[in-house]
């Protein structure tokens, strides 16, 4: 497998349309065409990550945090960033990052946290993107309606909630007159034809619209396929930062804080709020989520779990009646490393070794 094949596996989990405008997820350094035998997963591209990659003959490093955010004007081998770039290039390693798209996607960092903390009825805390939906109707001769319906459904059309392959079908009569230069599947040139047909209607998400249309045309027997595509005002799936969900039963902030500390395997956490506060509705955001405190308030959360809470963030939360658990930037994001190892491992077709950066630790100690 090549780097581009691993990236396409990553993009299936964390699609590019969920990359925020300020973010720089994607290829950082290296070639898409490089063959991959060994992958290393890390939160960051630190000098320790690079040393471990070189020691283990790694071909591709996947990080959560992009290495490049702002433009670089100099690569100096006298500073750490320049040394990292130089070592990566000298050792022919490719570096790829999935950041905000891995935060927001289904199954990403915030869903991992929600699952660990057993939240139900989860939805994004702050909406970033809502899928646009389209309706396709296609006219098919009765002999081929099953095969076209199957092609639509197997390629992702007709998803409504947890139901796939949803279609509506009506029978009718199609007419056409093949003119010169045609090679009709049914009928003859110059003769008006009447055919028993079925109109198949289904719903399609904008991201797969063109591939669904291609698959539909491929499965259809006619030389010229008659179909319509309508934009819909129905709301598609929403994606965004953080999650808000519910616990199965109310607990105190004291009890919930201990659950968070144990479940997220944090050495320490910081808790803001009265320890007797009742907690049922939980908001969370892996990493630095202080900018979503007002979203927690609007969503009527009882507590907010995130990292990097500063003095004034905590003050704002408490003024809004919101308890906060700061489980650390690292403490809330480290869980994605093992998750990615399993996800990539389950999706690769070649024998590729996947290592995780074991020395990945929070860059500070609490004593």
Smaller CB distance to Zn ion: residue 134 or 241? 241
How far apart are CB 343 and Zn ion at their closest, in Å? 18
Smaller CB distance to Zn ion: residue 89 or 361? 361
Question: DSSP letter string over 312-333?
Answer: HHHHHHHHTT-EEEE--HHHHH
Helix (H, G, I), strand (E, B) or coil at 150: helix
How far apart are CB 21 and Zn ion at their closest, in Å? 17
What are the Cα distances from residue 339, in Å, to 28, 64, 119, 261, 345? 22, 12, 18, 19, 10
How far apart are CB 267 and Zn ion at their closest, in Å? 18
Residue 73 φ/ψ, nearest 5 degrees:
-110, -20
Smaller CB distance to Zn ion: residue 287 or 331? 287
Smaller CB distance to Zn ion: residue 48 or 205? 48
How far apart are CB 290 and Zn ion at their closest, in Å? 12
Closest CA to 185 of 219, 221, 214: 221
Smaller CB distance to Zn ion: residue 219 or 340? 340
Task: Please check whether residue 99 is in contact with residue 16, taking contact to mean a CB–CB distance below 8 angstroms.
Answer: no
Q: Annotated binding residue at 329? A: yes
Cα three-residue angle 54-57-59, rounded to 5 degrees:
100
Q: Annotated binding residue at 64? A: yes
**314 vs 304: CA distance, rounded Å:** 10
How far apart are CB 98 and Zn ion at their closest, in Å? 11
Binding site for Zn ion (CB under 5 A): 287
Name residues whose C-beta falls within 8 Å of residue 61's C-beta, 6 or more positions apart in sequence: 39, 40, 41, 42, 45, 49, 50, 53, 88, 93, 94, 95, 96
Q: Annotated binding residue at 103? A: yes
Binding-site sequence positions for a divalent metal cation = 64-65, 103, 329, 333
Residues flagged as binding site? 64-65, 103, 329, 333
């Amino acid at each position: 497998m090549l780097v581009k094949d691993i990236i396409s596996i990553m993009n299936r989990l964390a699609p590019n349309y969920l990359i925020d405008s300020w973010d720089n997820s994607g290829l950082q350094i290296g070639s898409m065409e490089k063959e991959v035998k060994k992958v290393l997963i890390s939160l960051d591209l630190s000098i320790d990550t690079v040393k471990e990659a070189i020691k283990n003959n790694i071909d591709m490093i996947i990080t959560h945090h992009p290495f490049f955010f702002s433009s670089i004007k100099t690569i100096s081998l006298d500073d750490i960033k320049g040394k990292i770039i130089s070592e990566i290039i000298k050792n022919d390693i490719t570096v790829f990052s999935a950041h905000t798209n891995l935060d927001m996607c289904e199954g990403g960092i915030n869903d991992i946290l929600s699952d660990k903390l057993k939240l139900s009825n989860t939805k994004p805390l702050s909406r970033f993107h809502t899928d646009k939906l389209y309706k396709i109707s296609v006219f098919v001769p009765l002999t081929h309606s099953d095969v076209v319906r199957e092609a639509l459904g197997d390629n992702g059309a007709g998803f409504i909630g947890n139901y796939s392959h949803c279609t509506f079908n009506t029978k009718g009569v199609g007419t056409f007159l093949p003119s010169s230069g045609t090679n009709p599947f049914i009928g003859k040139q110059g003769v008006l034809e009447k055919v028993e047909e079925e109109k198949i209607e289904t719903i399609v998400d904008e991201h797969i619209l063109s591939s669904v249309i291609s698959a539909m045309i491929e499965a259809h027997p006619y030389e010229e396929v008659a179909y319509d595509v309508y934009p819909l005002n129905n709301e598609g799936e929403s994606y965004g930062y953080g999650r808000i969900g519910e616990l199965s039963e109310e607990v105190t902030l004291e009890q919930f804080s201990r659950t968070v500390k144990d479940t997220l395997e944090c050495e320490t956490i910081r808790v803001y709020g009265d320890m007797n506060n009742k907690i049922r509705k939980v908001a969370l955001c892996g990493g630095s989520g202080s900018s979503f405190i007002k979203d927690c308030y609007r969503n009527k959360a009882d507590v907010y779990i995130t990292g990097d809470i500063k003095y004034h963030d905590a003050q704002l939360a408490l003024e809004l009646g919101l308890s906060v658990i700061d489980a650390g930037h690292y403490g809330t994001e480290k869980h994605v490393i093992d998750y990615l190892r399993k996800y990539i491992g389950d999706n690769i077709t070649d024998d590729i070794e996947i290592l995780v950066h074991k020395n990945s630790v929070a860059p500070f100690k609490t004593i």
